Amino acid sequence: MDDAAEILQTGAVRRTGEGPSPAVSAREARRQVLYELLSGVSGLILALFMWGHMFFVGSILLGEPAFDWLAEGLEVTYVAQPTVVIILALFILHAVLAARKIPAQLRERRRFVALAKELHNAAGEWRSEGEESPLRPHVESWLWIWQVRTGMVMLVLGSFHLVLMGLDILTPLFGERVGIEAATSIARTSAGLVWAYGLLLLCVEFHAGVGLYRLAIKWGGGSRLRRKTLERVEKFIFWFFLGLGFLVLLVLAGWIPPPLAFLLGG
Partner 1 sequence: MTARKLTFEIFRYNPEDPESKPHMQEFTLAEEPYMTLFRALNMIREEQDTGLQFDFSCRSAVCGSCGMMVNGRPTLACKTLTSDLADTVRLHPLPAFKLIGDLSVDTGTWFRAMAEQVGAWVHERAPFDPKAVEEPMDDELAAAIYESDRCIECGCCVASCGVANVRPGFVAPAGMNRIARFMMDPRDARSDTDWFDVVSNDDGVFGCIGLMACHDVCPKELPLLEVYAYLRRRALGTAFLKKA
- For the chain, the C-alpha Rg in angstroms (whole number) is 22
Binding to partner 1 (CB under 8 A) within 95-114 occurs at 101, 103, 108, 111-112
Q: How far apart are CA 207 and CA 91, in angstroms?
A: 13
Question: To the nearest whole angstrom, how small is the minimum distance from the Cβ of residue 159 to partner 1?
Answer: 24
Tell me if 46 sits within 8 A of 208, measured CB to CB. Answer: yes
Question: Distance from CA of residue 33 to its chain's centroid?
Answer: 22
Burial class of residue 45 in the structure, from the number of CB atoms within 10 Å of its CB (0-12 exposed, 13-18 middle, 19+ buried): middle
Q: How far apart are CA 82 and CA 75, in angstroms?
A: 10
86 scored as a contact of partner 1 (CB under 8 A): no
163 scored as a contact of partner 1 (CB under 8 A): no
Question: To the nearest whole angstrom, how small is the minimum distance from the Cβ of residue 152 to partner 1?
Answer: 16
| Total chain residues near partner 1 (CB under 8 A) | 67
Closer CB to partner 1, 12 or 176, in the complex:
12
Closer CB to partner 1, 13 or 77, in the complex:
13
28 scored as a contact of partner 1 (CB under 8 A): yes
Question: To the nearest whole angstrom, how small is the minimum distance from the Cβ of residue 238 to partner 1?
Answer: 17
Closer CB to partner 1, 78 or 136, in the complex:
136
Ramachandran region, residue 192 (left: φ > 0; alpha: ψ -120 to 50; beta: rest)? left
| Rounded to 5°, angle at Cα 84 from 81 and 88 | 150
| Residues of this chain that bind partner 1 (CB under 8 A) | 2-5, 7-9, 11-26, 28-30, 32-37, 101, 103, 108, 111-112, 115-116, 118-119, 121-122, 124-128, 133-138, 140-141, 144, 214-215, 217-223, 227
